[in-house]
Amino acid sequence: MDDNEITLDRLWDSTPPADKSFNPRNYTRLPEPVQRYLSHSIAPVAPLAASVRLKMHGEIKLNRWLSFQAEQVIRWDRGMIWKAAVKMAGLPVRGFDRVINGRGRMKWKFLGLFPIVNEEGPDISRSSKGRMAAEAAWLPSVFTRPEIKWNALDSSRSQAEFDLFGEKVEPLLTIAPDGRLESIQLKRWGNPENGEFRYQNFGGLAEAERTFSGYTIPTSLRIGWYFDSERFESEGEFFRVFVDEARFF
């Protein structure tokens, strides 16, 4: 099947069932903050899910803040699709952002008829991989994978390093004493100033969480560029999201 033919439903329905369950004893060699995070985020004996399906709503900043409703599937071995409807002047703009097998694409239409965005190529693909790495916060089982290298910076921060469809990503997790994820950040390829693409600080602040089927994930996040700087709130923040439902498989 051609990558462009993979829909959100097909990506979800084709996920293979989990063949392992979470056991905290298997991760005692990881840095203590990571152990704390995993034990908080994944219930004992919960299947180590390969994918998550989310329903969400919120606001996205496109010159001004606009409301949206969206559904998303993240399947770690194949990619992710974010399908949304954004209200612009009371009328819908529908489309998707996606990365499948390392190939990124953005396609949006006004009223479902008139194209306004249709972008792909190496820069979009690289940027999409960075987004997917940050959104691993919604699929904590990713951080149990053996290929991930960890570096503990202090008692609350640990940095992961792994390959995602040929892109080296290094998400930094800040973890509260109770194991709750406070933030996730990384260098992401992008052009927030509409100039040349380059690596920029990107991340999200987790402001609430909820448990779904044995997984405790952030359900209220503020996300954007120039993370961990004064520019985040004034210029970089462009996405405020609230997760309403999450299913794991």
Taking only the tens place, the pLDDT of each residue in 2-36 is 677 899 999 999 999 999 999 999 999 999 999 99
**Residue in 53, 54, 63 with CA at minimum distance from that of residue 86:** 63
Within-domain flag for 144: yes
Within-domain flag for 248: no
pLDDT tens string 143-183: 999 999 999 999 999 999 999 999 999 999 999 999 999 99
Q: Is the pLDDT of residue 136 over 70?
A: yes
Within-domain flag for 116: yes
Within-domain flag for 149: yes
Domain count, the chain: 1
Residue ranges making up the domain that contains 157: 30-43+52-57+66-242
> Model pTM greater than 0.85?
yes
At residue 2, the pLDDT reads 67
Per the rule left: phi > 0, alpha: psi between -120 and 50, beta: everything else, 122 is alpha
**Mean pLDDT, rounded, for 177-192:** 98
**Mean pLDDT, rounded, for 122-135:** 98
Within-domain flag for 17: no
| 1 vs 112: which has the higher pLDDT | 112
